[in-house]
Amino acid sequence: MHVLFPDLYSPKEQVTTMMAGRVVPPTSRIENNRQIYIASQSVGLYSMHFLSTTPTVAIGFGNGKFNVHDLNTTKRCHTGQASPDHMPVTCIRDYVDSDIHRIVSGTADGWVKSFSFDLEDGMKEMSSIHLANPIYSLDTSENYHICALDNRQIKVLDAVRAEYVRDVGRISTEEYSEEEEVGHQQRVTCVKFRPDNRYQCVSAGWDKSVYLWDIRMEPDKAAVRTMKGPKICGDGLDIHNDILLSASFSTENALQMWDLGSGNLIQTICYRENENEAEYLYSCRFVDSNRIVAGGSGSRDAKIINIKTGVIEGVFFDTKPIHSVGYKDGVVAAGGVSCYIHVGDFNQVI
């Protein structure tokens, strides 16, 4: 699963920027910085997700387990076993179904598991399905799970019955040229449902293409929309209203916003602070309609950026690549290769 994070295995391609001498910008609104410690036996962070109904964050590790931590105290609340073979937990999501809070995990050995979660009572495994290939990304709703596998397949599962429904987007073969846009040409690393339309989802990966799909369509149907350019190597897509945010593993112009209605590029957001830095981003999230948070391996940090003014309004510095970022209700977090996840309160001023 090392292929999830290219910078760890291609060090000659990245520009090294150390923490020494870097100062927090005077505009920083991140306060009360605190850290969640990642134990060495967890074998590193592979995924992170802010849970929707409680002030908690779920963190997936390389040993097949995930923890739920309190965002205020950073203390561990509960632990779940996602992979019976102790393989990495590559993705975590949650949703509420009939008043039951569910956490859904995907793993490198192909398991999709659903857990009921209560902050006081803990977690109980509700359902599971084993797919034939490693899972790189998943997203979920009350009706469906959608999973990106390492063989370029995108599969839709029934969230209630934990059963396979259909594939989305035909895999390109020698019979179909790239110009036909029938599906991804290389590994798919991120899938995400559209919040305002739970039958539509976006997918992206190494082939520098983002596709908008309708999961009700048969797999031989072309995508609803195609956006060319972003090379996504992590959890590098987010959607706010009709705008798609993408974080690419590229030297520059890595952070971009797209119009889902037309597929046109709206804006490129400058992430690097000087010309000698590379961006190489892995993860991004909308904070609100005016701000985003993103992180990666070029400058080994995570930044909150005002997309209207271009001002960096907050930053977490690290000595190693940032793989995941998150934001919810005034709390921002970022974590990756190092042994800590950075957490802080963001003083949001409109």
d(CA 286, CA 55): 18
Residue that the structure tokens 């992590």 belong to: 234
CATH topology of domain 47-299: Methylamine Dehydrogenase; Chain H (2.130.10)
Position 2 scores a pLDDT of: 46
Report yes or no: 256 and 263 within 8 Å, Cβ to Cβ: no
Instruction: State residue 179 phi and psi, 5-degree precision.
Output: -65, -25
Q: What residue spans define the domains of the chain?
A: 47-299
Average pLDDT of the segment spanning 136-145: 92
Instruction: State residue 41 phi and psi, 5-degree precision.
Output: -70, -10
pLDDT tens digit string along 99-127? 899 999 999 999 999 999 999 999 999 99
Position 180 scores a pLDDT of: 56
166 pairs with which residues across the strands?
Answer: 156
pLDDT tens digit string along 1-37? 444 655 543 433 333 333 444 555 666 789 999 999 9
Position 133 scores a pLDDT of: 93
Q: Which stretch of 174-178, 316-320, 344-348 has the lowest confidence by average pLDDT?
A: 174-178
pLDDT tens digit string along 308-340? 999 999 999 999 999 999 999 999 999 999 989
Asked if the model's pLDDT at residue 50 lies above 60, the reply is yes
User: For the chain, what is the mean pLDDT?
Assistant: 88
d(CA 272, CA 78): 37
Position 8 scores a pLDDT of: 47
d(CA 251, CA 96): 39
Report yes or no: 135 and 128 within 8 Å, Cβ to Cβ: no
147 vs 141: which has the higher pLDDT: 147
Write 146-151 long-range contacts (CB < 8 A, 24+): 146/191, 146/193, 146/201, 146/215, 147/106, 147/112, 147/191, 148/188, 148/189, 148/190, 148/191, 148/203, 148/205, 149/110, 149/188, 150/187
d(CA 227, CA 217): 19
